[in-house]
Amino acid sequence: MASALENEIPSPDIIIPNEWSDTADTIAYDSVTSPPPVSLICGPKNCGKTTFSRHLLHVLLKRYRKVAYLDTDVGQTEFTPPGFLSLTIIDKIPADLTIPCLKTPERCFFFGDISSKRDPKLYLTYACALYDHYKKKYYMLNNSEKPANAEMPIVINTPGWVKGIGYEILVDILKYISPSHVVKIRISAESKNLPPGAFWLDEGEAPVTNLIEINSARQDSSRRSILVQKDARLLRDLRIIAYFRQCFPNDANITTSKELAHALAAHPPYEISISSVKIKHLHCQVPKDEVFYSLNATIVGLAVSPEDMPHCVGLGIVRGIDTTRQVIYLITPVPLDSLEKVDLLLQGFIEIPTSLLQVQGCISPYMSANVLPAY
């Protein structure tokens, strides 16, 4: 996944209040001799978690060469298409805090949905596994006298679902990770906020975390939140569109969704032997005789399944399935050397944006007569 254009001029639309700046500086610089900070950002929807996380990344990168970013918000992902939990290593970030960008994760799992509610246990397993990977590779000591990659802090962004099961998941993540810093962002609607204090601790348990509670950035004179409401579905579609735009060179004349739709429809796909991959449907059961029909014209996670759990290398669009030749036609920006390792296709509930499906009369000539067409 390629990064977006980077510039040096911060967006005038983002307000970084002194409270936020002081908090980021505290996290980055107060513990000069201690291990790098493990910072978790939490709060209700539209409170500014992502914006604060980006600002914190900026500040941390002034002190550290690289910063890890653990994204557990499958609905509003930061560096990947929607549906992923991911760990990304950042060495630079766009100065414009309003512009998200795609980056290739260090490791990611395809959850296949925009909320954890369909399978909280699997979601939690993935989140903990990503943190374990970070600890093992970038934080823990090796057998020598010096730490191995130990000078790398981590920023953990969480979803805005902080009630019911969402709250319970957040508590479990906090207990498992035990961050050095927890930044809790509040909005003016008190009923939507997280409980005061170190809410994840059991009664009588002493806190070992530096808890910092701050207000949402955009507030009027009455301290009412005036954060701009996001069009979550549109943002997800734009991320998917940007992801599959990577199937083509940067200088290709593709500037609109319609142009991309036609380009994808005409793009020669990879041929994947059906016998070389397993197909797994996430969060639902599909009758065996309907597997190919359900898979056709869908987005799938491209996974490599080791002994423990399958990690994902990217997404693909199932362009068609030739049941005679026993091949799956797949469109993906994943490089061939990575695609050759894929042995598992994961189908979830991440849908192809409608704008990429509205293409007429473009069944490509490389497809055989026995194919289940995707368009």
DSSP state string for 263-316 = HHHHSPPEEEEGGG-EEEETTS---GGGHHHHHTT-EEEEEE--SS-PEEEEEE
pLDDT of residue 360: 60
Q: How far apart are CA 194 and CA 211, in angstroms?
A: 13
The answer to the question of residue 274 being in a domain is: yes
- Number of residues assigned to the chain: 375
- Count up the domains in the chain and report the number: 2
Residues 281 and 171 in one domain: no
Same domain, 141 and 191: yes
Give a yes or no: residue 241 inside a domain: no
Q: Is the residue at 152 inside a domain? A: yes
pLDDT of residue 265: 87
Domain that holds residue 301: 257-373
Same domain, 181 and 292: no
Q: How many CA atoms lie within 13 A of 180 on its CB side?
A: 14
Q: Quick one: 200 and 297 in the same domain? A: no
Is 155 within the bounds of a domain?
Answer: yes
Amino acid letter for position 67: V
198 with 344, same domain: the answer is: no
Residue 118 lies in a domain: yes
Within this chain, do residues 31 and 137 fall inside the same structural domain, yes or no?
yes
Q: Which residues of the chain are under the pLDDT cut of 70? A: 1-14, 31-33, 94-100, 140-150, 218-230, 307, 360-375
Residue 196 lies in a domain: yes
- The one-letter amino acid at 185: I
Domain boundary among the residues 181, 215, 249 is at 215
- The reply to whether 137 and 207 lie within a common domain is yes
Residue 305 belongs to some domain of the structure = yes
DSSP, collapsed to helix, strand or coil, labels residue 144 as: coil
Which residue carries 């979601």 as its tokens? 123
Whether 107 maps to a domain, the answer reads: yes
- CATH number of the domain where residue 289 is located: 2.40.30.330
Task: Report yes or no: 36 and 64 within 8 Å, Cβ to Cβ.
Answer: yes
Assess whether 265 and 202 both reside in one domain. Answer: no
Q: How many angstroms separate the CA atoms of 185 and 19, rounded?
A: 11
How far apart, in whole angstroms, are the C-alpha atoms of residue 251 and residue 164? 47
pTM (two decimals): 0.89
Q: Are strands 278-281 and 344-347 parallel, antiparallel or unpaired?
A: parallel
Report the distance separating Cα 280 and Cα 345, nearest Å. 6
Q: Where residue 151 sits, what CATH number does that domain have?
A: 3.40.50.300
